[in-house]
Amino acid sequence: MTTPLDALPLDVLRTRTSTKWATHDADVLPLFVAETDFALAEPIERVLAEALRVGDTGYVPPRTRYPEAFAGFAARRFGWDVDPADVRTTCDVMMGVAELVRAVAAPSDRVVVTPPVYPPFFMVHDEAHTEAVEVPLMEEGGAWRLDLDGIERAFAGGAVAMLLCNPHNPTGTAHSAADLAELARIAERHDATIISDEIHAPLGMPGTEITPFLSVSPEAAEVGVAVLSASKAFNLAGLKCAHMVSASPTKRELVRAIPAEVEWRTGLFGIKAGIAAFEEGDAWLDALIARLALNQRLLVDLLAEHVPGSRYTPGDAGFLAWVDLAGAGFGDDAAARILADARVALNPGPSFGAPGAGHVRINYGTGPEVLTEAVRRIGRVAAS
């Protein structure tokens, strides 16, 4: 049996200087940005310490073991056969997404997004000078699905690409293989490209099947490019490394044509940490997932006890909870009141698009003590 990972003590976490711990005052419990509260996996700590010892802090070399390391990880964790030659690194997932949008869409072209969705999926269009076309997810009995008919209408209306979040942020939905296969067929019919952000894919809950988009069918390989990273699962965002994966000659050439400077922006420490994570991090990752599964169940119980009227359906992957607080009397922007009155920092639902009104995103990638105190604080405000 896997022993769940323990979070670092709160007094240690408050010595961190990253966004999660440096944005708010010391009396605030930060459960917003997608950083987790655990010590680094030992293999990652070891390779970074060795790099510091010898001053290995230069540029990324033109050839590393990273593509092979990810291919091995993909085969073990997803049963996905990745050709290392089809893996190209960059600085972070959204940089990869932005470059891919620019590669497939001209200024003013329309690109499908599926709110409620990760806020940078809206922001990237300012950078690419494209236009977001919103096709909201469909909620069915607390579960979320892609609106495939709506997506087809958007493509028929001229959209040239779609930003797929798989698994979905913030709902934690692992899209089914059947829906992904149909999405690929729709995109192929309309000569559209699917850009699949799969950064949360390593964090599938026990018993959940995560299907990488490119693996689902020959059509998906033809129409899609995936963007991934070890950064969410292993808490490595500050080391700046992600990668783009293609699986067809056409998309391989598309990725290879992206300017070399995009690859030069990869961080050397990110490469080193990513290799260690993909080659030696499975046991640590399993322990993390065991903790996240316990925290999911704890959050369900805490909300039921302390915040009556809230609605939360645990997601299939990740450490982010999409919680509807409209029935608890918090109004459209619950996060603002909770920060002011409960001193808990959450992501505001409206930043994820119009369907986010009345919602918050809670990061439960922490210790149960912190999560418990945060929900108790929220409950006291709800009751006041």
- Mean pLDDT for 315-319 is 98
pLDDT tens digits for range 122-132? 999 999 999 99
Burial group, residue 269, by CB count within 10 angstroms (0-12, 13-18, 19+): buried
CA 354/CA 22 separation, integer angstroms = 29
| CB-based contacts of 283, cutoff 8 Å, min separation 6 | none
Residue 225 has pLDDT above 80, yes or no: yes
Give me the residue spans of the domains in the chain.
10-40+282-383, 45-280
Q: Are 10-40+282-383 and 45-280 in the same CATH fold?
A: no
| CB-based contacts of 169, cutoff 8 Å, min separation 6 | 34, 117, 118, 197, 199, 200, 318, 320
pLDDT tens digits for range 268-310? 999 999 999 999 999 999 999 999 999 999 999 999 999 999 9
Please give the pLDDT value at position 310: 97
Q: Average pLDDT of the chain?
A: 97
What percent of the chain stands above pLDDT 70?
100
Protein fold of 45-280: Aspartate Aminotransferase; domain 2 (3.40.640)
Please give the pLDDT value at position 341: 97
Q: Which residue has the tokens 């994570």?
A: 277
Please give the pLDDT value at position 142: 79
- Mean pLDDT for 361-381 is 98
Min mean pLDDT across 143-152, 192-201, 326-335, 371-380 is at 326-335
Please give the pLDDT value at position 154: 98
Bridging pattern class, strands 131-134 and 138-140: unpaired
Q: CATH 3.40.50.300: does it fit domain 10-40+282-383?
A: no
> pTM to 2 decimals?
0.97
Residue 140 has pLDDT above 90, yes or no: no
Distances (CA, A) of 382 to 238, 322, 356, 359, 379: 35, 18, 19, 14, 5
